[in-house]
């Protein structure tokens, strides 16, 4: 068993030796030093993490690129959504998924979300992933550990909620806090948490309960998010070496509306905010219901005479042409693509149960159950309705044990898991009704640019064009060993084998999917191998290689029948990574530098989902420095390049200028290609330029001593993002930018006031859209925003 020693940063080793009861022999046994006196911003780990390999191991000693953010860091840095994690974690810049922060983009590709080590249902942009009341957020770059199940190598975000057991000890007294937040754009939010000891005779335990409610407007006009969260965690010591933990989270959002941002893109719009105005009046809302139904557009029932999009190009006609209000205007960045008809309503429910037996020899047996549910209804008025209803459950049993052969010691686990999914995805976007540029957003939404949806029944209304029902299961066995050879060489070996069974059927009206039910099964193995060498002077070089596999899931976690038919539903990925972790200046300067090369896949959208391969390589640097007992600094930076492997057969909407059509004769409709590789210069590999090559974040934090009159502190820093662009040839480019953020707090006794200012200097910047519309839209970044939080602790 390793010893833990709390060493005040800046103290010398001789001062350590002067501590009563500490000998030189004992210092040789210490493999973990936790610096406490200077860490007032929660930058260093208090406990080892099991997020990377499933074994308790400090991230600074783990042979993989990984970051964490404690609850203190999240509060001090003003981190409220996963997009804000760029400030502390390299490689996590995320392109706009229609303005909804659902998933991180790590190393150029979408990452996966986990809750206490269990994978959640896919969330690309269905709802804003909640991170409130986190005890810790862990960001792992690379594949998940074998215990977590198979997954892609891009990366993962693991949410660890607060619990009734903190640092191995159960809650001993009642404590809690109540918060109220107000801010710009009618920001209104209340939250509260309470921790209660639970003791029944000899049974010891604790309860952590949290609730939050928000009802606000937003920087973008017409978007007013309303969210509610309830979290509960209960931990008990049952005696006889047995303990249990159970709890969960319920989340509801109403108003997390998707928006592509700005349409009708030109370089002049990006550089000077000059927007081309005008509307097409050739189509009319004949029945006066405030939108265009299919028969009003020119076809019904669904037949081959579909609207505008799918005849190829160039094509101009009256429906494509702007015939009134044509001109230019300066566009306000708060004005985005939105209408009163847009909505999004989401419910998620997440639960878990752990039963653990700790044996006297240090081994442990764990039984774990997990459940996650997603229900979402949404409508984006350019013509995208969706309804998701998905649930997934997982059972896992793990046995942890140690082994000591003198020179060789190890910590290992073996186990088995079973995961089952049942989901239904309903969407409509296949009939060619979507024309993103049709709306003049400077003028505002009109009935002739709002497309019908299946939620409101009409005789000639839009129907569900995709209606895909999927069940799949994954049964696996896994093993991982953390092996020390002597005191310096560390090997990490892990692997798992899974058997998958999948079944899907799409009964949508215009699904572009093969008719009937499709099913398949397949076994697949994954593994990871890592080596680290620990030097006396605080450097730990490492090397890692991993091969992994994962299901190709759509937005509801389902699998398209066409992927099963073509045997493309299970994809491979691989990672090679090397780097150096360091702990210098008596543990006050920690960080890592890593270089990587990875190959993985991403499922694209559109009528016929396509598995697209990508190759990424890059360098990442992370530094956390506790300069004094009051001052600390963080740096997170990366330089990367992601390449799409050609030929890219994905469906895509393309900008007017690629077709050679004048914008006035194009913006009323839209143009598409069924294979992106058909475009000029895109027949082979091409650079994925929606993600910047370079992102750099530098922040400084100051926290005063505690005085009779209180304590104060603040964090100030900036993030630099290099240029991005569309992915077509001769693209529109989005300039580099730098945004600065400021956080300050004052605390006296049980009271605290915090002020956060985001984008302090009101920088104008853009993030490109994603998926099929990546070349048609860009979201202007939020301008300066502020919020004030008042807290009462008890």
* Beta bridge pairs of residue 499: 475, 523
Confidence at 532, pLDDT banded by 50, 70, 90: very high
Please give the Cα distance from 694 to 713 (Å, whole number): 30
* Beta bridge pairs of residue 347: 252, 375
Query: For residue range 757-777, what is the model confidence (pLDDT) as tens digits?
Result: 999 999 999 999 988 899 999
- The phi-psi region of residue 222 (left if phi > 0; otherwise alpha if psi is between -120 and 50; otherwise beta) is left
Q: What is the pLDDT of residue 15?
A: 38
Give the best-scoring range by mean pLDDT among 53-67, 137-151, 417-431, 658-672: 417-431
Q: What is the pLDDT of residue 27?
A: 35
Backbone phi, then psi, for 53, in 5-degree steps?
-120, 0
- Comparing 638 with 459, the larger pLDDT belongs to 638
Confidence at 95, pLDDT banded by 50, 70, 90: low
Query: For residue range 122-151, what is the model confidence (pLDDT) as tens digits?
Result: 998 899 999 999 999 999 998 888 888 878
Query: For residue range 274-286, what is the model confidence (pLDDT) as tens digits?
Result: 999 999 998 899 9
Return mean pLDDT, the chain. Answer: 90
- The phi-psi region of residue 239 (left if phi > 0; otherwise alpha if psi is between -120 and 50; otherwise beta) is left
Whole-number percent of the chain with pLDDT over 90: 74
Helix, strand, coil tally for the chain in percent (to 5): 10, 50, 40
Q: What is the pLDDT of residue 606?
A: 81
Q: What is the pLDDT of residue 28?
A: 37
329: which DSSP letter? E
User: Which candidate, 95, 83, 82, 86, places its Cα nearest to that of 774?
Assistant: 95
Q: What is the pLDDT of residue 179?
A: 97
Bridge-based pairing of strands 66-70 and 105-106 is unpaired
């Amino acid at each position: 068993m390793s010893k833990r020693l709390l060493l005040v940063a800046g103290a010398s080793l001789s001062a350590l030796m002067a501590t009563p009861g500490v000998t030189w022999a004992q210092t040789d046994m210490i493999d973990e030093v936790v610096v406490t006196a200077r860490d007032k911003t929660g930058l260093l780990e208090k406990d080892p993490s099991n997020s990377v390999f499933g074994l308790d191991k400090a991230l600074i000693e783990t042979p993989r690129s990984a970051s964490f953010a404690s609850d203190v860091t999240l509060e001090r840095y003003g981190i409220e959504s996963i997009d804000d994690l760029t400030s502390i974690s390299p490689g996590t810049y995320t392109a706009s998924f229609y303005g909804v922060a659902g998933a991180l983009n790590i190393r150029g590709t979408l990452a996966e979300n986990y809750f206490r080590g269990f994978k959640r249902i896919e969330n690309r942009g269905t709802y804003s992933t909640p991170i409130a009341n986190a005890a810790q957020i862990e960001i792992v770059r690379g594949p998940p550990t074998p215990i977590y199940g198979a997954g892609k190598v891009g990366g993962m975000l693991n949410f660890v909620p607060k619990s009734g057991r903190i640092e191995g000890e159960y809650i001993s007294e009642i404590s809690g806090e109540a918060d109220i937040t107000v801010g710009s754009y009618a920001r209104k939010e209340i939250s509260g948490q309470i921790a209660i000891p639970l003791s029944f005779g000899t049974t010891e335990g604790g309860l952590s309960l949290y609730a939050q409610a928000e009802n606000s407007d937003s920087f973008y006009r017409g978007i007013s998010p309303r969210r509610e969260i309830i979290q509960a965690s209960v931990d008990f010591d049952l005696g006889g070496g047995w303990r249990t933990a159970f709890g969960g989270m319920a989340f509801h959002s109403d108003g997390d509306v998707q928006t592509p941002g700005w349409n009708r893109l030109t370089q002049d719009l990006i550089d000077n905010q000059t927007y081309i105005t005008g509307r097409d009046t050739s189509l009319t809302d004949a029945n006066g219901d405030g939108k265009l139904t299919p028969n009003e557009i020119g076809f019904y029932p669904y037949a081959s005479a579909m609207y505008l999009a799918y005849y190829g190009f160039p094509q101009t006609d009256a429906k494509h042409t702007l015939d009134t209000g044509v001109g230019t205007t300066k566009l306000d960045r708060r004005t985005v693509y939105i209408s009163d008809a847009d909505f999004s309503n989401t419910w998620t429910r997440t639960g878990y149960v752990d039963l653990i037996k700790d044996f006297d020899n240090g081994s442990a047996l764990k039984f774990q159950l997990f459940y996650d549910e997603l229900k979402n209804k949404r409508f984006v008025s350019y013509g995208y309705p969706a309804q998701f209803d998905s649930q997934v459950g997982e059972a896992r049993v793990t046995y942890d044990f140690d082994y000591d052969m003198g020179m060789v010691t190890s910590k290992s686990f073996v186990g088995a898991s079973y995961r089952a999914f049942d989901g239904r995805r309903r969407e409509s976007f296949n009939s060619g009704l979507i024309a993103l540029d049709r709306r003049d957003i400077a003028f505002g939404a009109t009935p002739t640019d709002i497309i019908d949806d299946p939620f409101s029944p009409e005789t000639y209304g839009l129907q569900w064009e995709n209606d895909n029902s999927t069940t799949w299961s994954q049964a696996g066995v896994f093993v991982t060993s953390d092996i020390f050879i002597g005191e310096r060489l560390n090997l990490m070996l892990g692997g798992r084998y899974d058997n998958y069974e999948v079944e899907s059927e799409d009964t949508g009206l215009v699904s572009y999917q093969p008719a009937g039910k499709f099913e398949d099964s397949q076994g697949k193995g994954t593994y990871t191998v890592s080596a680290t060498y620990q030097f006396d002077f605080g450097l730990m070089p490492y090397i890692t290689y991993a091969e992994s596999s994962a299901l190709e899931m759509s937005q509801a976690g389902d699998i398209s029948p066409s992927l099963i038919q073509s045997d493309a539903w299970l994809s491979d990925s691989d990672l090679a990574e090397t780097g150096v972790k360091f702990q210098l200046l008596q543990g006050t300067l920690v960080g890592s530098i890593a270089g990587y090369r990875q190959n993985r896949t991403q499922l694209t959208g559109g009528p016929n989902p396509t598995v697209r391969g990508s190759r990424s390589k890059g360098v990442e640097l992370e530094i956390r420095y506790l300069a004094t007992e009051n001052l600390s600094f963080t740096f997170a930076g990366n330089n990367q390049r992601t390449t799409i492997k050609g030929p890219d057969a994905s469906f895509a909407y393309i900008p007017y200028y690629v077709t050679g059509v004048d914008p006035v004769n194009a913006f009323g409709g839209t143009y598409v290609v069924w294979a992106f590789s058909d475009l000029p210069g895109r027949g082979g590999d091409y650079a994925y330029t929606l993600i910047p090559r370079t992102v750099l974040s530098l922040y400084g934090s100051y926290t005063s001593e505690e005085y009779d009159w209180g304590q104060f502190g603040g964090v100030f820093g900036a993030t630099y993002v290099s240029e991005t662009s569309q992915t077509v040839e001769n693209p529109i480019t989005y300039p580099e930018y730098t945004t600065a953020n400021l956080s300050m707090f004052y605390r006296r006794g049980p009271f605290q006031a915090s002020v956060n200012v985001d984008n302090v200097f009101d920088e104008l910047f853009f993030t490109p859209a994603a998926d099929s519309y990546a070349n048609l839209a860009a979201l202007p970044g939020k301008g300066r925003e502020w919020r004030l939080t008042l807290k009462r602790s008890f």
